[in-house]
Amino acid sequence: MGSFRRRRYVIDRALQYRLLIYNAIYFLIIVLSIGVALFLPLYFEMSKPGLTTAQQGEVAGRVLYLHANLWPAVLVVLIILGIHSLLISHKIAGPLYRFRQTFQDIIDGDISKMVKIRKSDFLMSEQEKIEEMMAMLRSRIGKIRSEQAAMENVLNDIVRNPGSQLEEGTKAKIAALQNHSMALKKEIEYFKFSEEPRS
């Protein structure tokens, strides 16, 4: 049986909490605007001169009614918005976490791994571009590796051929080419091509 893996909804705290704060600020601005639009006219109405006690009581009742019903609804919406923002930010932070892993793999010379994100995640087009980049790197570096191997074989054939009479200057140039070929081979071997599943 496969082990149960609990999903972490907070992957990148700095990013996700920042998005959460931005959403909370926008929400509070909207709530403040609605509050001003609802309560300010009532307070102006209450402050009108010549208002009877009954009329003042009626306006005060409307104010109290709004207070009693508006703020609990605002609190519920704020909680729902916070949960929704966390879930949405997870669909952004998750792919970014995978992308950073892939970039680190490239830095480490491993270009064999695939970028895998969930179908429900955002940044799918970015994932496709990264996969396209990785495929291009594998193809180009593979061709460089093949060309280097072919050059090394030709140089080795020249050196091993006992029938070839080479001048000292030519031998030195061939030796220099061999050194450059070995250095190129060493640089190419830094990159890993074999498919390995990500743990």
Residues 130-161 have pLDDT tens digits of 999 888 888 888 888 888 888 888 888 777 77
Count of the separate structural domains present in the chain: 2
Per-residue pLDDT at 166: 66
Q: Give the least confident one: 8-12, 44-48, 64-68.
A: 8-12
Per-residue pLDDT at 3: 41
Domain residues for the domain of 120 are 113-199
Q: Who wins on pLDDT, 196 or 41?
A: 41
Task: Identify whether residues 90 and 126 lie together within a single domain.
Answer: no
Tokens of 85: 């923002």
Q: Give the separation between CA 106 and CA 192, rounded to whole angstroms.
A: 9
Query: Residue 119 pLDDT more than 90?
Result: no
Q: Give the separation between CA 128 and CA 151, rounded to whole angstroms.
A: 35
Per-residue pLDDT at 25: 92
Token pair 């009329």 is at which residue?
A: 55
- Is there a contact between 158 and 75 (Cβ–Cβ < 8 Å)? no
Per-residue pLDDT at 2: 43
Which of 193, 11, 5, 8 shows the shortest CA–CA distance to 105?
193
pLDDT band with cut points at 50, 70 and 90 for residue 129? very high
Q: Is residue 197 part of a domain?
A: yes
Q: Give the separation between CA 36 and CA 43, rounded to whole angstroms.
A: 10
Q: Give the separation between CA 109 and CA 102, rounded to whole angstroms.
A: 10
Token pair 């082990």 is at which residue?
A: 3
Query: Residue 97 pLDDT more than 50?
Result: yes
Q: Is residue 88 part of a domain?
A: yes
Q: How many Cα atoms are found within 13 Å in the side-chain-facing hemisphere of 128? A: 6
Domain end position, chosen among 56, 73, 108: 108
Q: Is residue 1 part of a domain?
A: no
Q: Is residue 51 part of a domain?
A: yes
Domain end position, chosen among 53, 79, 108: 108
Task: Identify whether residues 18 and 101 lie together within a single domain.
Answer: yes
